[in-house]
Amino acid sequence: MGTSLDIKIKRANKVYHAGEILSGVVVISSKDSVQHQGVSLTMEGTVNLQLSAKSVGVFEAFYNSVKPIQILNSTIEMVKPGKFPSGKTEIPFEFPLHVKSNKVLYETYHGVFVNIQPQKGKLTPSPVDFTITPETLQNVKERALLPKFLIRGHLNSTNCVITQPLTGELVVESSEAAIRSVELQLVRVETCGCAEGYARDATEIQNIQIADGDVCRGLSVPIHMVFPRLFTCPTLETTNFKVEFEVNIVVLLHADHLITENFPLKLCRV
């Protein structure tokens, strides 16, 4: 094939917000001149609810509601039928980003249920202090078998700006058993549903180790996690679906004791 076609978008990071103008160039390159029937460019934005293998049964119940929801659609004619000369031809274009009436433009993200292809809020800091001891744990079968430990710490805020890392501190004040690892587990909870019922799915999207080995007692270890760009979006709640985030602090002791403390997060973009 002698002809190639490429769309280049001007912004290096490819992030655009509602109301802004998306601009770029269409690059056509070929060895010989090319006859064509005209070039038109279509911009489309959809919300795609997908079936997860895990919950196929549930979805069949409200199958109808998983049709893609279109939220953006515009087409422009760029060139009338004619001929491209040989070599490289660049055709610039611009699209205003206007959402279809009565739809909201969500941030792009790739999830299990929800894929949003081609977004704001005010943040109030909400620090959380926590203390983990054998007594504070739920779901423990035999509390007496647990080695004694005292872990204290705090998250600077559970309301997070998506572009800023999650921060805080953790101090192992005491622990009978040696510590093997401390990890931060970022979990996404997606809920899809309608009148007929709903499906909830929690997925680990990132796991970051913040302590490796038997850390020094009484010395604070920083909690620091950058939110992954592709797998997170601001916390969302719509009539058809919800996307929420949580963080688990997981402490692994020697002899395979696993201690988890869960904190729901609220992500937003400022």
Partner 1 sequence: MSEKVRTRLEELDDFEEGSQKELLNLTQQDYVNRIEELNQSLKDAWASDQKVKALKIVIQCSKLLSDTSVIQFYPSKFVLITDILDTFGKLVYERIFSMCVDNRSVLPDHFSPENANDTAKETCLNWFFKIASIRELIPRFYVEASILKCNKFLSKMGISECLPRLTCMIRGIGDPLVSVYARAYLCRVGMEVAPHLKESLNKNFFDFLLTFKQIHGDTVQNQLVVQGVELPSYLPLYSPAMDWIFQCISYHAPETLLTEMMERCKKLGNNALLLNSVMSAFRAEFIATRSMDFIGMIKECDESGFPKHLLFRSLGLNLALADPPESDRLQILNEAWKVITKLKNPQDYINCAEVWVEYTCRHFTKREVNTVLADVIKHMTPDRAFEDSYPQLQLIIKKVIAHFHDFSVLFSVEKFLPFLDMFQKESVRVEVCKCIMEAFIKHQQEPTKDPVILNALLHVCKTMHDSVNALTLEDEKRMLSYLINGFIKMVSFGRDFEQQLSFYVESRSMFCNLEPVLVQLIHSVNRLAMETRKVMKGNHSRKTAAFVRACVAYCFITIPSLAGIFTRLNLYLHSGQVALANQCLSQADAFFKAAISLIPEVPKMINIDGKMRPSESFLLEFLCNFFSTLLIVPDHPEHGVLFLVRELLNVIQDYTWEDNSDDKIRIYTCVLHLLAAMSQETYLYHIDKVDSNDSLYGGDSKFLAENNKLCETVMAQILEHLKTLAKDEALKRQSSLGLSFFNSILAHGDLRNNKLNQLSVNLWHLAQRHGCADTRTMVKTLEYIKKRSKQPDMNHLTELALRLPLQTRT
Phi, psi of 163 (to 5 degrees): -90, -5
Applying the rule CB under 8 A, the residues between 37 and 56 that interact with partner 1 are none
Of the residues 1, 144, 195, 219, which one makes contact with partner 1 according to CB under 8 A:
219
In whole angstroms, what is the distance from residue 35 CA to residue 218 CA?
A: 74
Of the residues 29, 46, 52, 115, which one makes contact with partner 1 according to CB under 8 A:
115
Contact call for residue 208 and partner 1 (CB under 8 A):
yes
State the nearest-atom distance from the C-beta of 254 to partner 1, in Å. Answer: 9
Contact call for residue 201 and partner 1 (CB under 8 A):
no
State the nearest-atom distance from the C-beta of 211 to partner 1, in Å. Answer: 4
Per-residue tokens: 188: 């996404």
For residue 173, the tally of other CB atoms under 10 A from its CB is 13
In whole angstroms, what is the distance from residue 262 CA to residue 32 CA?
A: 62
Contact call for residue 182 and partner 1 (CB under 8 A):
yes
Query: With contacts defined by CB under 8 A, how many residues of the chain interact with partner 1?
Result: 30
Per-residue tokens: 75: 């087409």
Contact call for residue 209 and partner 1 (CB under 8 A):
yes
Q: Is the CB of 202 or the CB of 216 nearer to partner 1?
A: 216
State the nearest-atom distance from the C-beta of 229 to partner 1, in Å. Answer: 6
Per-residue tokens: 175: 């622990």
Phi, psi of 58 (to 5 degrees): -65, -40
Instruction: Tell me which amino acid residue 25 is.
Output: V
In whole angstroms, what is the distance from residue 36 CA to residue 38 CA?
A: 6
Spatial contact of 196 and 61, defined as CB atoms under 8 Å apart: yes
Contact call for residue 23 and partner 1 (CB under 8 A):
no
The greatest distance separating any two alpha carbons of the chain, rounded to the nearest whole angstrom, comes to 83
Q: Which stretch binds partner 1 (CB under 8 A): 30-38, 65-73, 151-159, 177-185?
A: 177-185
Per-residue tokens: 257: 């004791």
Q: Which stretch binds partner 1 (CB under 8 A): 56-64, 124-132, 193-201, 224-232?
A: 224-232
Contact call for residue 255 and partner 1 (CB under 8 A):
no
Q: Which stretch binds partner 1 (CB under 8 A): 7-15, 130-138, 148-156, 257-265?
A: 7-15
Of the residues 107, 214, 246, 261, which one makes contact with partner 1 according to CB under 8 A:
214
Residue whose tokens read 């700006």: 161
In whole angstroms, what is the distance from residue 182 CA to residue 125 CA?
A: 25
Kind and range of the H or E element at 180? strand 179-194
Contact call for residue 210 and partner 1 (CB under 8 A):
yes
Residues within the interface to partner 1 (CB under 8 A): 11-13, 110, 115, 165, 178-179, 182, 206-216, 219-222, 224-226, 228-230
